[in-house]
Amino acid sequence: MATGRTIGRLLYRVKSRRLIVEANLRYCFNNKTFDERQEMAKRHFLALGEGFAELTLAWYKPFEKLEKYHQIKGLEHYEKAKESGQGILFLGYHTTSLELAGALMAKYLDFAAFYRPNKNPVLDNHIQAGRNNRSKTMGRNDIRSIGKWLKSGEGLWLMPDQDMGRHSTEFAPFFGNPACTLTSPQRIAKLGKAKVLPVSYHKNKQGVMTIEVLPEIEFTGDDYIDCTMTNKILEACVMQAPEQYYWVHRRFKTLPEGQRSVYYQKPPKLKSISAEQHDGALYSGKILSRDSGLPKLVRTIDGQLLNVFHRGTSFGTDLTRKELSTMLQKCALFTFRGFYTISPKEFTFCHERDAYMLRYQESPGVALHHIPQSRRHPTAIVLGNWLAQLHNEGIKLGEVREANIQLLPNGSPILLNPRNCEFYHQGLKEKARQKDMKQFINSIGFLEQDESSQKLFHEQYQLNRLNEVDNEQTKV
């Protein structure tokens, strides 16, 4: 277990996978605080490392050596289903200790495990050799072949909890949010005339796994209702040990139309363009501002903005490129944490013009300095709540210009340039909160000058902060 935890700590340092886990936890547990989700993410990687360390145990240890590692429940449901003579579809799910769960299940249940072959044939052969020591395996055959297998009275262990795209799926709620859910269990059960038994498995703090065969379920024929039912069962199973679910998978990469991705979106890569392409883009739209007589900000005919930055260097270092790259990274992180900023679509450099250009969608917001006096109090409340949320999610705003903040039609603030933001792996401490709040108030004209607006801002900030603290204390 110690070796596995060491592996887990190393895996946590892989940023791309860590961000996937953080995104999944935010989507499913938005009622938890940022700090609670971060702690859950760390525990998940420890469990993931333990899962890797268990592979030898799961694949090659004699069954009698596994006795102390598990307990089994609900076998009466399996025996009852088996007496019918029908095939049995075991509904499972992906966890960090999946291989150990499969090995232990095979001691009590008769089934073939359904799997997707690994893209690496050498690794796939090794995985299958280990799995075949415990149970039969079945590759991605067509559903009719699987139906015949079940009709012959055999069992199949299926884990339909991954995002496979829009084909043969239904958007059904999972932890309160739409999840692209496979309808294949319903089709397979119908074709194979099979009994359907969900199975749960999780480990306790001592490393002992509990496997439980749950009571039989029956599908209704309505895909949405059936997918909702299977997701509810999955939720209950996950909540037995939330950190052990396989959060490292991009479970929510397919979302309903119009819903923005929950995952980290890499900023666009820098590409070189010719002077003809550079000038053509700039002079085909409406020039909004100039710098030294040359176009600086341009609105294109499709409502996008082109922002030009002439290259500046110091001691051979391209300061402009460095600053823009940092800004793009922070835009991506700011969006990933759940807040609004610009989403650059293109990042180019023209050698002939010695200039960089960013292309992004124009914000439909209203600048704070254009907010009428009659709307200052509601705006102060919105801003107080916004800054508190930023701090709760580990973001320090830093120095900010009033012109860089707008209010969107939905009432949410948008920060047009988050280059001075700092991102932390936990919520801000009180001292940092107070310093950032003071700096923010001094940057926003009407908050600095209007005492009543400033009072409302403080009240809303503290209310949000108190709610956050209350939630933490309630869960403790």
Number of domains in the chain: 3
Please name every residue paired with 366 in a beta bridge, in sequence order, or none if there are none: 407
Closest CA to 252 of 91, 38, 25: 25
Residues 223 and 145 in one domain: yes
**Average of pLDDT values for 292-313?**
92
For the cut 80, the answer to whether the pLDDT of residue 143 exceeds it is no
Q: Which of 102-116, 146-160, 382-396 has the lowest mean pLDDT?
A: 102-116
Assess contact for 210 and 248: CB atoms under 8 A. Answer: no
Instruction: Say what the pLDDT of residue 130 is.
Output: 65
Instruction: Give 153: exposed, middle or buried? Use CB within 10 Å, 0-12, 13-18, 19+.
Output: middle
For the cut 90, the answer to whether the pLDDT of residue 83 exceeds it is yes
Confidence of residue 292 (pLDDT cuts 50, 70, 90): confident
Output DSSP code: residue 312: -
Residues 371 and 346 in one domain: no
Residue 281 lies in a domain: yes
Which pLDDT tens digit goes with each residue over 171-214?
999 999 999 999 999 999 999 999 999 999 999 998 899 999 99
For the cut 80, the answer to whether the pLDDT of residue 38 exceeds it is yes
Residues 142 and 217 in one domain: yes
Residue of 3 and 316 predicted with greater confidence: 3
Domain stop point among 331, 361, 391: 361
Residues 298 and 434 in one domain: no
Instruction: Say what the pLDDT of residue 69 is.
Output: 80
Distances from the Cα of 283 to the Cαs of 303, 346, 358, 450, in angstroms? 14, 17, 15, 43
Instruction: Say what the pLDDT of residue 55 is.
Output: 82
Residues 169 and 216 in one domain: yes
Confidence of residue 142 (pLDDT cuts 50, 70, 90): low
Q: At 354, is the secondary structure helix, strand, or coil?
A: coil
The CATH number of whichever domain residue 421 belongs to comes to 1.10.510.10
Residues 163 and 239 in one domain: yes
Assess contact for 285 and 298: CB atoms under 8 A. Answer: yes
Residues 99 and 146 in one domain: yes
Residue 19 lies in a domain: no
Per-chain mean pLDDT for the chain: 91
Residues 341 and 395 in one domain: no
Which pLDDT tens digit goes with each residue over 89-128?
999 999 999 989 998 998 899 998 887 766 777 766 766 6
Strand (E) or helix (H) holding 195: strand 195-203
Instruction: Give 318: exposed, middle or buried? Use CB within 10 Å, 0-12, 13-18, 19+.
Output: middle
For the cut 70, the answer to whether the pLDDT of residue 469 exceeds it is no
Confidence of residue 153 (pLDDT cuts 50, 70, 90): very high
Confidence of residue 476 (pLDDT cuts 50, 70, 90): very low
Which pLDDT tens digit goes with each residue over 225-239?
999 999 999 999 999
The CATH number of whichever domain residue 329 belongs to comes to 3.30.200
Residue 265 lies in a domain: no
Instruction: Say what the pLDDT of residue 117 is.
Output: 66
Please name every residue paired with 360 in a beta bridge, in sequence order, or none if there are none: 305, 344
Could you tell me the residue range of the domain that residue 379 belongs to?
A: 366-475
Residues 199 and 155 in one domain: yes
Instruction: Say what the pLDDT of residue 169 is.
Output: 95
Q: Which of 80-84, 113-117, 336-340 has the lowest mean pLDDT?
A: 113-117
Alpha-carbon span 349 to 257, nearest angstrom: 33
DSSP assignments along 169-220, one per residue: EEEEEETTEEEEEE-HHHHHHHHHT-EEEEEEEEE-TTS-EEEEEPPPB---
Residues 351 and 384 in one domain: no
Residues 349 and 392 in one domain: no
Output DSSP code: residue 267: P
Residue of 90 and 145 predicted with greater confidence: 90
For the cut 70, the answer to whether the pLDDT of residue 247 exceeds it is yes
Distance from first CA to last CA of the chain, Å, rounded?
A: 27
Confidence of residue 468 (pLDDT cuts 50, 70, 90): low
Residue 255 lies in a domain: no
Residue 408 lies in a domain: yes
Residue 413 lies in a domain: yes
Strand (E) or helix (H) holding 268: none
Amino acid at 105: M
Residues 302 and 418 in one domain: no
Q: Which residue has the tokens 């792996």?
A: 425
Residue 15 lies in a domain: no
Percent of the chain with pLDDT over 70: 93
Residue 258 lies in a domain: no
Percent of the chain with pLDDT over 90: 77
The pTM assigned to this predicted structure is: 0.90
Instruction: Say what the pLDDT of residue 2 is.
Output: 83
Token pair recorded at residue 144: 């009719």
Alpha-carbon span 196 to 226, nearest angstrom: 12
Output DSSP code: residue 13: T
